[in-house]
């Protein structure tokens, strides 16, 4: 069942990416204020998510859908689709070609499908539970790094938790001989971790639509992911630590010492 849903999610993410890319290219034709750019991105976000929701409703009418722009639509099948139509809007609005479409599917508290599609680079990262992880149909695997000094660690930053969270992580990574990386798209950074481009990724809080697909990709690529209550994450988000087996415990220790307590999550 999950392979059928995976194929559908890949095709849908790529279709949504075409629409998003059309908006992205329109930014070049705008000679108006930053607000004009922001309005275009807001319109793109809404319309790309609407496209995704309409296609999902046609194909899987009994499934629930949770998206960044339009919230939760309940379903009766036990399946919940989770989507971020444009992850990396700060990049999108300024013309930086680092953003993606994210689609995941959850069933009975487990993520069974995850797709992260980068329309600009024409890269589609995909995984179904138990089926491995792929980039454009080629298998991907986590980094074999055994040390923070070999490779870069993705660090997320958000406006919902303490500002010091990210600052502390960056300091700890560098102090331990590492290098930090940030491209303002948590989805892409998780995909990069899964594919071995980064050795791990940490963020004190991510929404479900940003992280569930990437966490499945990481597991299926042989990485380690901090345990999550997926049903809780759907409504409240999650603290995210993923990494290559050789560095995960060090990354988890850095996260625990750097992040403010989780009580508000």
User: pLDDT for 157-208, tens place per residue?
Assistant: 887 777 788 899 999 999 999 999 999 999 999 999 999 999 999 999 999 9
pLDDT at 238: 93
pLDDT at 29: 66
pLDDT at 265: 40
pLDDT at 136: 97
pLDDT at 264: 44
- CA 248, 254, 259, 264 torsion: positive or negative? positive
pLDDT at 1: 45
**Percent of the chain with pLDDT strictly greater than 70:** 94
- Compute the mean pLDDT over every residue in the chain, rounded to the nearest whole number: 92
Distance between CA 121 and CA 132 in Å, rounded? 22
pLDDT at 42: 82
Separation of first and last alpha carbons in the chain = 32
pLDDT at 30: 57
pTM for the full predicted model: 0.94
Confidence band, pLDDT 50/70/90 cuts, at residue 223 = very high
- Structure-block tokens of residue 29: 């034709």
Distance between CA 208 and CA 228 in Å, rounded? 11
CA distances, 229 to each of 21, 41, 52, 117, 248 (Å): 34, 32, 25, 25, 19
User: 66-80, 122-136, 192-206: which range is least confident on average?
Assistant: 66-80
pLDDT at 181: 94
pLDDT at 163: 79
């Amino acid at each position: 069942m999950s392979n059928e849903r995976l194929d559908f999610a890949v095709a849908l993410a790529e279709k949504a990416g075409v629409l998003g890319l059309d908006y992205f290219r329109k930014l070049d034709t705008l000679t108006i204020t930053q607000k004009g750019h922001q309005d275009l991105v807001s319109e793109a976000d809404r319309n790309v998510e609407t496209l995704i929701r309409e296609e999902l409703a046609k194909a899987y009418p009994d499934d629930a859908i949770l998206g960044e722009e339009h919230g939760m639509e309940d379903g009766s099948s036990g399946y919940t689709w989770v989507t971020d139509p444009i992850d990396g809007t700060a990049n999108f609005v300024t013309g930086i070609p680092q953003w993606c479409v994210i689609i995941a599917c959850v069933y009975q508290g487990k993520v069974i499908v995850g797709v992260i599609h980068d329309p600009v680079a024409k890269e589609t990262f995909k995984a179904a539970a138990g089926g491995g992880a792929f980039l454009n149909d080629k298998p991907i695997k986590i980094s074999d790094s055994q040390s923070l000094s070999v490779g870069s660690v993705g660090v997320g930053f958000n406006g919902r938790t303490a500002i010091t969270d990210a600052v502390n992580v960056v300091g700890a990574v560098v102090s331990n001989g590492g290098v930090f990386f940030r491209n303002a798209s948590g989805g892409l950074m998780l995909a990069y971790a899964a594919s071995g481009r980064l050795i791990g990724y940490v963020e004190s809080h991510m929404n479900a639509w940003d992280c569930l697909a990437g966490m499945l990709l990481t597991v299926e690529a042989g990485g380690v992911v901090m345990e999550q209550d997926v049903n809780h994450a759907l409504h409240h988000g999650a603290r995210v630590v993923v990494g290559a087996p050789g560095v995960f415990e060090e990354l988890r220790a850095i996260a625990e010492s750097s992040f403010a307590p989780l009580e508000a999550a």
